[in-house]
């Protein structure tokens, strides 16, 4: 004869096993049916190089890049997946230094898109674009005249040696269960030329 406690114990371990199997199946299923996105557009506007200081005590003067950008991309296929908890999107500049060939990747802007976000993602800018009728959905990412959120500096302190950068909007998909996946959400049309330093 089992005691009540023993029976309860057995039941709960059985339940745990079933739940683990279920979670495993969900993560396999969503891994196999990973939604794909059409790569959207990043448009870089007024990229400038100026002397400045990082916002940090005792920082020395160096060349800093700042920019404005527009982003248009449709991430609804990712957000509509039942297993998507949230998306993390970030804009990077990747470039190489001419003489040394050192490659760098710098994050200049990012944003978290929650499943609970029910409206289009519209980031701060001068003016908001008009919503197109019939194009509803929380995954329509439209950023107008967004600004770099993080300072873009080059480790050498100057951009003299940098000819161009590739600007890419990446995403990380954080699922309820299973592994993180990532991909490219939008890119600029070709490399962006790094301008001359503005002298004051």
Ligand X SMILES: *[C@@H]1O[C@H](CO)[C@@H](O)[C@H](O)[C@H]1NC(C)=O
In three-state secondary structure terms, 142 is strand
H/E stretch holding 90? strand 84-97
Residue nearer to ligand X on the CB measure, 96 or 120: 96
Residue nearer to ligand X on the CB measure, 92 or 140: 92
Near ligand X by CB under 6 A, which window of 15-23, 77-85, 90-98, 128-136?
A: 90-98
172 vs 84, 150, 184, CA distance in Å?
A: 10, 19, 9
Near ligand X by CB under 6 A, which window of 55-63, 75-83, 94-102, 170-178?
A: 94-102
* 166 makes contact with ligand X (CB under 6 A): yes
In this chain, which of 98, 155, 191, 195 binds ligand X, going by CB under 6 A? 191
164 vs 70, 101, 103, 145, 167, CA distance in Å?
A: 18, 13, 12, 21, 10
Minimum CB distance to ligand X, residue 131 (Å): 32
* 101 makes contact with ligand X (CB under 6 A): no
76 vs 63, 104, 108, 119, 198, CA distance in Å?
A: 38, 30, 23, 11, 40
For binding to ligand X (CB under 6 A), which residues are involved?
A: 94-96, 103, 166, 191
């Amino acid at each position: 004869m089992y005691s009540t406690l023993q029976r309860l114990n057995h039941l709960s371990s059985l339940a745990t096993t079933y739940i683990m199997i279920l979670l495993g199946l969900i993560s396999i299923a969503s891994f196999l049916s990973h939604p794909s996105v059409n790569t959207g557009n990043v448009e870089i506007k007024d990229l400038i190089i100026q002397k400045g200081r990082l916002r940090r005590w005792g920082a020395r003067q160096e060349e800093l890049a700042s920019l404005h950008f527009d982003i248009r991309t449709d991430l609804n296929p990712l957000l509509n997946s039942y297993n998507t908890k949230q998306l993390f999107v970030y804009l990077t500049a990747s470039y190489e230094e001419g003489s040394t060939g050192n490659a760098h990747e710098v994050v200049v802007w990012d944003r978290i898109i929650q499943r609970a976000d029910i409206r289009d993602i519209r980031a701060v800018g001068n003016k908001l674009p008009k919503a197109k009728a019939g194009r509803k959905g929380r995954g329509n990412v439209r950023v107008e005249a967004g600004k770099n959120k993080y300072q873009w500096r080059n480790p050498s302190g100057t951009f003299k040696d940098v000819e161009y950068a590739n600007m890419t909007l990446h995403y990380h998909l954080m699922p309820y269960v299973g592994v993180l996946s990532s991909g490219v959400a939008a890119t600029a049309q070709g490399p962006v030329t790094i301008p001359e330093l503005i002298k004051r």
